[in-house]
C-alpha cells in the first residue's frame, strides 16, 4: 500500500466528549490507509466509547495509563516513536491542559513528550468553543506549531445547532495526510510555491422563499481536496465554498451561498490569482423573484418562474489576467462530448469532466474518476481514485501549463 499514511505510526488520542464516537471512524480510515494506529484514551473517553472497539479496529490495544506494567515510561515511548499524534475530539479541558503544559495523564504526557507533529480536532458546545479562554489556548497552541482542524457548524448534543461540531472524519484524515505529506516534502521545492490559487467548491442554493431553495447533490469534497492539495504544494490558497465544513489546513475560506454571491467572490479573488479552479456545482437556474415570505399550501400551488444563473466560468474567462490558468469542471451523465464543447465555449485551459452516473463517481462520494481535457487537445484519464488523488492529477496538469 502506498500513500502518505502507509507505514506511519499514528497515535490517536481520544478525550471525553460526546464526539468520541466519531474517532472510531477516524481510526478505521487511518488503518485502511495503511497507518499503524495506537489508540490512547483518557478515562473520561471510556464514558462515551468502549476501549474494546478501538482495540479491535486499531493496530495495537488501547493504552490509558501512565502506570502500565508492560512499559514503565509509555508516554516517552509513544512520543518518540510517533510520526504524528492526532487528538479526536479535543475537549476544552484537554486544550487548556496542553496549552498550560500540564501532564495529568497518558495522553497529555505523550503530546508533551513528542517532537512529532500534533493535530488537535476541537469539539464542544458553541458557548465553550467561543469562550475567550478556549480561543486563547488555541492561539497559544497554534503559535507553538500545533495544527488545529477547526470544528464546523451543525447539530450539537442537546438538540441545538451552531459552531463547535467536530470536523468530519474524512476532513480529519485529509488533514493528517497533508501534514505528513508536507513533512515528507520538507526541504524539497514545491511546484506551486509563490502562486495564488483560487478554488470554488460546493453546490449553490437558489432561494424559492426564505426557507426553501433549489440546489444539487454536490458535497464540495472535490473542491476542498483541490484547495488542500494546492496548499500542500506551496500555494497561497483562497477557497470560495458553499459548505459549512472546516476549511483545508493552510487555506483562506470565503463562505457563499448563491450563484450570485459566488460570482462576486470569485471575480474579486481571481483578479490577482495565478490559477483559478471552478470546481463548484453552480445551479443552472434560479427562481425569478423569490418570495419574501414563506409559501404555504393553503395559498395553492405557486407559479415558480426560473431564470438562468450567472455563467461564472465564462465571466472568469472574459476577465482573466495574462498568464492565468483557468480550470473548469463538467459533471455529465454519459455525454462526455459536452465537456469537450464546454472547453472551447468557455475558453478555459483545462476542463475536468466526470460521468456522475458511474458508481462511486462525483457528487457526495469520497472517490471520483475524471478526464482532464486540455486546450491543446491533450487528454488524461484518471480512473476511480480518492478525490485527493484526482486533485493531485489536476494540479499536475496546471503546473505543466504554468511552465
- What is the set of active-site residues? 216
Place of cell 438562468: 308
SS3 36: strand
> Tell me, what DSSP letter sits at residue 4?
T
Q: For residue 207, how many other CB atoms are within 10 A of its CB? A: 16
> Which pairing describes strands 206-207 and 213-214: parallel, antiparallel, or unpaired?
antiparallel
**C-alpha to C-alpha distance for 30 and 172, rounded to whole angstroms:** 10
Q: For residue 318, how many other CB atoms are within 10 A of its CB? A: 11
Is the CB of residue 160 less than 8 Å from the CB of residue 130? no
The full length of the chain comes to 403
**C-alpha to C-alpha distance for 389 and 275, rounded to whole angstroms:** 19
**C-alpha to C-alpha distance for 276 and 344, rounded to whole angstroms:** 17
**C-alpha to C-alpha distance for 340 and 336, rounded to whole angstroms:** 7
**C-alpha to C-alpha distance for 82 and 98, rounded to whole angstroms:** 18
Q: For residue 292, how many other CB atoms are within 10 A of its CB? A: 8
**Which of 114, 173, 181 has the alpha carbon at shortest distance from 146?**
114
Residues 6+ apart with CB under 8 A from 253: 238, 239, 241, 247
**Which of 242, 246, 211, 249 has the alpha carbon at shortest distance from 228?**
249
**C-alpha to C-alpha distance for 167 and 148, rounded to whole angstroms:** 11
**C-alpha to C-alpha distance for 93 and 87, rounded to whole angstroms:** 13
DSSP string, 252-317: EEEE--SHHHHHHHHHHHHTT-SEEEE-SB--SEEESS--SS---GGG-S----EEEPP-HHHHHH
Angle, nearest 10°, between helix axes 132-143 and 92-100? 50
Amino acid at each position: 500500500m502506498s500513500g502518505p499514511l502507509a507505514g506511519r505510526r499514528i497515535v490517536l488520542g481520544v478525550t471525553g466528549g460526546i464526539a468520541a464516537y466519531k474517532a472510531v471512524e477516524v481510526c478505521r480510515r487511518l488503518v485502511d490507509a495503511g497507518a499503524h494506529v495506537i489508540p490512547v484514551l483518557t478515562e473520561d473517553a471510556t464514558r462515551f466509547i468502549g476501549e474494546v472497539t478501538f482495540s479491535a479496529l486499531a493496530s495495537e490495544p488501547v493504552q490509558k495509563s501512565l502506570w502500565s506494567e508492560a512499559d514503565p515510561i509509555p508516554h516517552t515511548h509513544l512520543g518518540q516513536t510517533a510520526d504524528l499524534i492526532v487528538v479526536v475530539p479535543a475537549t476544552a479541558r484537554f486544550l487548556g491542559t496542553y496549552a498550560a503544559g500540564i501532564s495529568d495523564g497518558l495522553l497529555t504526557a505523550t503530546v508533551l513528550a513528542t517532537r512529532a507533529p500534533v493535530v488537535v480536532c476541537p469539539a464542544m458546545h458553541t458557548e465553550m468553543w467561543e469562550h475567550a479562554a478556549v480561543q486563547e489556548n488555541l492561539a497559544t497552541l497554534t503559535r507553538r506549531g500545533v495544527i488545529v482542524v477547526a470544528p464546523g457548524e451543525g447539530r450539537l448534543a442537546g438538540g441545538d445547532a451552531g459552531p463547535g461540531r467536530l470536523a468530519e472524519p474524512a476532513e480529519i484524515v485529509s488533514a493528517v495526510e497533508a501534514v505528513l505529506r508536507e513533512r515528507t516534502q520538507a526541504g524539497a521545492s514545491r511546484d506551486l510555491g509563490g502562486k495564488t490559487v483560487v478554488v470554488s467548491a460546493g453546490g449553490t442554493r437558489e432561494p424559492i422563499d426564505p426557507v426553501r431553495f433549489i440546489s444539487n447533490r454536490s458535497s464540495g469534497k472535490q473542491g476542498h481536496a483541490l484547495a488542500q492539495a494546492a496548499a500542500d504544494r506551496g500555494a497561497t490558497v483562497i477557497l470560495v465554498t458553499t459548505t459549512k465544513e472546516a476549511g483545508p489546513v493552510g487555506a483562506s475560506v470565503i463562505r457563499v451561498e448563491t450563484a450570485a454571491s459566488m460570482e462576486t467572490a470569485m471575480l474579486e479573488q481571481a483578479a490577482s490569482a495565478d490559477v483559478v479552479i471552478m470546481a463548484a456545482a453552480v445551479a443552472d437556474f434560479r427562481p425569478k423573484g423569490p418570495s419574501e415570505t414563506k409559501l404555504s399550501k393553503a395559498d395553492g400551488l405557486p407559479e415558480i418562474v426560473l431564470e438562468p444563473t450567472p455563467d461564472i466560468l465564462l465571466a472568469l474567462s472574459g476577465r482573466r489576467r495574462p498568464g492565468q490558468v483557468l480550470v473548469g469542471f463538467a459533471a455529465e451523465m454519459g455525454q462526455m462530448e459536452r465537456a469537450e464543447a464546454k472547453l472551447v465555449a468557455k475558453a478555459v485551459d483545462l476542463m475536468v469532466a466526470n460521468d456522475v452516473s458511474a458508481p462511486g463517481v462525483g457528487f457526495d462520494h469520497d472517490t471520483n474518476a475524471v478526464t482532464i481535457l486540455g486546450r491543446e487537445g491533450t487528454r488524461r484519464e484518471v480512473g476511480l481514485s480518492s478525490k485527493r488523488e484526482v486533485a493531485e492529477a489536476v494540479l499536475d496538469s496546471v503546473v505543466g501549463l504554468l511552465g
